[in-house]
Amino acid sequence: MHARIQQTHPVEPERDGRDKENMVTTSDPGLHARLAECAYRIRRNAIRMGEVQGQGYIAQALDIADVLAVAYGHALRLRADDPEWDGRDRFLLSNGHYAIALYAALIEAGILPEEELETYGSDDSRLPMSGMASYTPGMEMSGGSLGQGLTIAVGRCLGLKRRGSDAFVYTLFSDGELDEGAVWEGIMSASHWKLDNLIGIVDVNNQQADGPSTQVMAFEPLVDKLQAFGWFVQRIDGNDLAAVIAAFDAARAHRGACPRMIVCDTKMGSGVPFLEAREKNHFIRVEAHEWQLALQALDAGRQA
């Protein structure tokens, strides 16, 4: 068993009521190295789970690993031994087929035991192939029908505000979900209610089941559209760990009374070159011998 990542948190200048115990700034010299190691292990966990079933949404797990490492290793306020702690920040997985990635992150956060990854997708497992809040500790919403996470997050944010909670609600969704009208209703309503406790993260990997996302339904210029709705928006390389850290910190620290969005441009299969090169990797089947090749590629990248 490896040692779990030491969770750190950004300093928050505005929300003085927050629990600041053990908080550090991004100037911490060891932060980048710790989160890089966490991202490596998230990718490794996802590949190991994929090997159990021989298939899955592995490319998405690899592309979003850096974002999840920063979320669970740095940004989120949580208690690993009490995943339903009322004061926690919420992380909603709108794209439920990314569940394998979130399980990998929950293992690194210490919320799930590593041994359970061997049960992925099996009968009676707490790790079904699509996220289910009733099954999995740390899973805040059930997946399945896409386009729902942002509107659920708006409701959670309103409820937390009315209770006087200072918790943040994060929601991760995919660029394919931008095809759904409910997403844009959520974008509009979050701005109307000035939900400064909402941080959206959209994974722009330009792939969905029917083809390249931008060809299925054009959504650019995305930043301009989000800003026109009144959001504080940052667009980053979602596989540049330093950029992800800075964007998460800026989203939390932003002083405006408005919701925040981080647009993450990512590469499907990031970290495993032969998976990055696949033309179609929305849902992939990997030959038995290729799982070990994928792990070797990750190890080579880590050493480099």
**Residue 82 in domain:** yes
Residues lower than pLDDT 50 in the chain:
1-3, 5, 9, 11-25
Q: What is the count of structural domains for the chain?
A: 1
User: What residues make up the domain containing 48?
Assistant: 31-303
Q: What is the pLDDT of residue 285?
A: 72
Q: Tokens 């040692």 — which residue?
A: 3
**Residue 268 in domain:** yes
Q: Using the 8-state DSSP alphabet, how is residue 208 labeled?
A: B
CB neighbours of residue 12 within 10 Å: 17
**Residue 2 in domain:** no
Q: What is the pLDDT of residue 4?
A: 53
**Residue 20 in domain:** no
Q: What is the pLDDT of residue 238?
A: 97
Read off the CATH number of the domain in which 116 is found: 3.40.50.970
Mind giving me the DSSP string for 233-288? Answer: EEEEETT-HHHHHHHHHHHHH--SSS-EEEEEE--TTTT-HHHHT-S--SSEE--H
**Residue 123 in domain:** yes
Q: Tokens 């919420």 — which residue?
A: 90
**Residue 70 in domain:** yes
Q: What is the pLDDT of residue 211?
A: 79
Q: What is the pLDDT of residue 252?
A: 96
Beta bridge partners of 202: 173, 263
Q: What is the pLDDT of residue 25?
A: 47
pTM > 0.85: yes or no: yes
